[in-house]
Amino acid sequence: LTPTVEAVAAERVADVAANDASVTIDAQALRAEVGDDDIFLQLCQLFLQDAGSLALELAEALAAGDMERLYRAAHRIKGSVSVFHAPRAVARFGKLESAARAGDMGIIEMEYQASRRVLDSLVNQIEVAQGAKAA
Amino acid sequence: MSAVLKQEQKFGNAALKVLIVDDDPPTRLMLGTLASQLGYRTVYAKNGETAISVFAAEQPDIVLMDMYLPGMQGDEAMTELRALSGERWVPIIFVTIAGEVGRHVATLVRGADDYLVKPVDQDVLGAKLEVARRTIALQRQVEEKTRELRRYRDDAENEMRMAKEVIDRLVHADRVADPMASHWILPAANFSGDLVAVARTPTGVLHVMLADGTGHGLSAALSVLPITPSFYAMTAKGLPIELIASTLNRTIREQLPVGRFVATTLVSVNSVQREVKVWNGGNPPLLALAADGTIQRKISSRHLALGIAPPESFDSEFDSFRFEAPCQLFLYSDGVPEGYEAAGETSGQAAVEALLLGVPANTRMKLLRSRLSARHLEQRPHDDVTVVLVDCSGGATVTATKADSRRPSAGTLT
């Protein structure tokens, strides 16, 4: 049984890694949607301002084993990243939400790690987009 | 031209104000930006508690609210906002994440007007806000119509109050007071189409009139108006009821529109001669009751209601009888037996006749009021209900006379 579980887990980790790599924002679509550089930059700024505290909230909730708090933080980030035309990121935090609701720590740990990587990636991409527009 | 101005021109009124409730700052800014671009004014709240205070202060027209808020949840906040808005309908649109179908349904079930899916598409947002705007416009039309109806109702009530006061004065409602006669009227509408008039001739003969105009309400009340002055004037001159009946018939034909009639019973009680005269045109029978409530005499209508017969063929002949023992005359309008029939009685007339059996004379009016009121506690009567009791004091026997030569049934009563 153990080899089977390990095989499934390895497959899932590979799947998560593959998804992480393809998480991107669509800055151009967002800029076109809001029609204004200032608002685009404000959106980036607001996200970046909160990203650190939201990452911390995720970590603390996980450490405390507080599934409701973890769910709320994941939900909040999911809503926030949906603004940036990043459907895969939305899906990623949706999985973390579901894992928090299910309460399976094995899955939660894995989803948490994946979500953190996605969050870091988003922060990087939004910083780049912000810098490009500001320049 | 600004988007707000465009919207004002499009809608013909001030741009609608949208309250955006979301704990996520980028989402708030995004929704606000899209709504502003569509010409809506925006105000913001970051949670349910703040939404309530902003709602109270800003009186927004539409609410866009995240379902899942920290602290007070979206549906709890919605309940509070609904209570705050009172009669003013404010559409509440919940904003949720795509794929949360169960949540979308739940928001609608809990009373939301619609939902939006994040990431919010501006065209969809515009369409949903437009639907909300149409709902608001419709709601405001309904509110305006309701206000108009309320004004109309208030005006109508004021006019009716005044009309009632005038009618009461015209029919001398305050003059219907004689120690020998008592009456009670339960109107089917604001106005009674039944009228009771009581007066004495210069020689002390008591005249009582029970008139029931066609239908009920104001038109019926107006129908009985013209006959009152004549009744009082002719009684004051000591003229007999047969002449009064004939005059009233002519008055109604002259003054009321075609098709308006008045069922009328005229009674004359001469205490000195111990004689009762009755002219009954279209009303239920007059009952003469003995002390124990048994019916000594029943005088049914033998004439058409006033206003039907042409003057040249009007029949003014009356019934009469003498009384020597005390008796009581019981007059009532057709609303009394009809009320019993409406309640399932086979014969309303029989029910009325059984009503006072065994009831002493001095408690009959109290009993009538109590029983007839109880019948109509839950709903007003279909027709005006009127009862009149007239005391006839006299000797040991009641003797009938034959003033009406065509009435062979007249005889001595004991």
A33, A46, A72 member nearest B29 (Cβ) = A46
Residues of A in contact with B102 (CB under 8 A): none
Quote the CA–CA distance of A104 and A118 in Å, as a whole number. Answer: 21
Residues of A in contact with B26 (CB under 8 A): 43, 46-47, 50, 80, 83-84
Output the average pLDDT for chain B.
85
Q: How confident is the model at residue B395 (pLDDT cuts 50, 70, 90)?
A: very low
B62-68: average pLDDT: 92
Residues of A in contact with B22 (CB under 8 A): 79
CA B410 to chain CA centroid, nearest Å? 43
Quote the CA–CA distance of B135 and B124 in Å, as a whole number. Answer: 17
CB B261 within 8 A of CB B245: no
Angle at B62 between CA B107 and CA A74, to 5 degrees: 45
Cβ A72–B70 below 8 Å, yes or no?
A: yes
The single-letter code of the amino acid at B1 is M
CB B392 within 8 A of CB B327: yes
A51-62: average pLDDT: 95
Query: Chain B: residue nearest A72 by CA?
Result: B70
Structure tokens at B68: 């899942």
pLDDT at B414 over 70: no
Query: Chain B: residue nearest A50 by CA?
Result: B25
Cβ B97–A42 below 8 Å, yes or no?
A: no
Residues of B in contact with A36 (CB under 8 A): 33
Quote the CA–CA distance of B184 and B330 in Å, as a whole number. Answer: 12
Name which of A26, A75, A85 to mutate to probe chain B: the one with the most chain B Cβ atoms within 10 A of its Cβ. Answer: A75
For position B375, what pLDDT does the model report? 66
Structure tokens at B376: 């109509």
Quote the CA–CA distance of B31 and B133 in Å, as a whole number. Answer: 17
Structure tokens at B313: 């063929």
Structure tokens at B64: 């866009």
The Cα of A90 is separated from the nearest Cα of chain B by a number of Å equal to 9
Q: How confident is the model at residue B300 (pLDDT cuts 50, 70, 90)?
A: very high
Q: B282: phi > 0 → left, psi -120 to 50 → alpha, else beta; which?
A: left
- How much is the ipTM here? 0.81
- A24-28, B16-20, B262-266: least confidently modelled range: A24-28
Measure Cα distances from A80 to B27, B95, B119, B197, B345 in Å.
6, 13, 9, 83, 74
Residues of A in contact with B24 (CB under 8 A): 50, 76, 79-80
Per-residue pLDDT tens over the stretch B248-299: 999 999 988 888 899 999 999 999 999 999 999 999 999 999 988 899 999 9
CB B333 within 8 A of CB B212: yes
From the CB of residue B370, how many other CB atoms can be counted at a distance below 10 Å? 11
Name which of B24, B46, B125 to mutate to probe chain A: the one with the most chain A Cβ atoms within 10 A of its Cβ. Answer: B24
Quote the CA–CA distance of B29 and B51 in Å, as a whole number. Answer: 16
Cβ A36–B33 below 8 Å, yes or no?
A: yes
Under an 8 Å CB criterion, which residues of A touch B? 33-36, 39, 42-43, 46-47, 49-50, 72, 75-76, 78-80, 82-85, 90, 94
pLDDT at B200 over 60: yes
Structure tokens at B343: 């309640």
Quote the CA–CA distance of A106 and A112 in Å, as a whole number. Answer: 10
- B94-98, B391-395, B405-409: least confidently modelled range: B405-409
A89-95: average pLDDT: 92
Q: Which residue has the tokens 């299910």?
A: A102
DSSP A42: H
A76, A83, A90 member nearest B30 (Cβ) = A83
Quote the CA–CA distance of A85 and A31 in Å, as a whole number. Answer: 10
Which of A28, A131, A47, A54 is CA-nearest to residue B26? A47
Supply φ then ψ for residue A18, to 5 degrees.
-65, -40
Under an 8 Å CB criterion, which residues of B touch A? 22-27, 29-30, 33-34, 37, 66, 68, 70, 97-99, 118-119, 122
CB B283 within 8 A of CB B301: yes
Q: How confident is the model at residue B399 (pLDDT cuts 50, 70, 90)?
A: very low
Per-residue pLDDT tens over the stretch B219-257: 888 888 889 889 999 999 999 999 999 999 999 999 888
Residues of B in contact with A74 (CB under 8 A): none
Residues of B in contact with A43 (CB under 8 A): 26, 29-30
Per-residue pLDDT tens over the stretch B330-364: 999 988 888 887 777 778 888 888 888 888 888 99
pLDDT at B141 over 50: yes
Per-residue pLDDT tens over the stretch B36-48: 999 999 999 999 9
The Cα of A3 is separated from the nearest Cα of chain B by a number of Å equal to 35
Cβ B25–A49 below 8 Å, yes or no?
A: yes
Q: Which residue has the tokens 């003014």?
A: B316
Residues of B in contact with A48 (CB under 8 A): none
How many CB contacts within 8 angstroms connect chain A with chain B? 55
pLDDT at B161 over 90: no
Residues of B in contact with A50 (CB under 8 A): 24-26
CB B265 within 8 A of CB B209: yes
For position B412, what pLDDT does the model report? 25
Residues of A in contact with B66 (CB under 8 A): 79
What is the b/e burial string over B48-76, where b = at least 16 CB atoms within 10 angstroms of the residue's CB?
bbbbbebbeeeebbbbbbbbbbeebebbe
The Cα of A59 is separated from the nearest Cα of chain B by a number of Å equal to 18
Q: How confident is the model at residue B33 (pLDDT cuts 50, 70, 90)?
A: very high
Quote the CA–CA distance of A75 and A77 in Å, as a whole number. Answer: 5
Cβ B26–A76 below 8 Å, yes or no?
A: no
Which of B241, B166, B163, B162 is CA-nearest to residue B197? B241
CB A77 within 8 A of CB A114: no
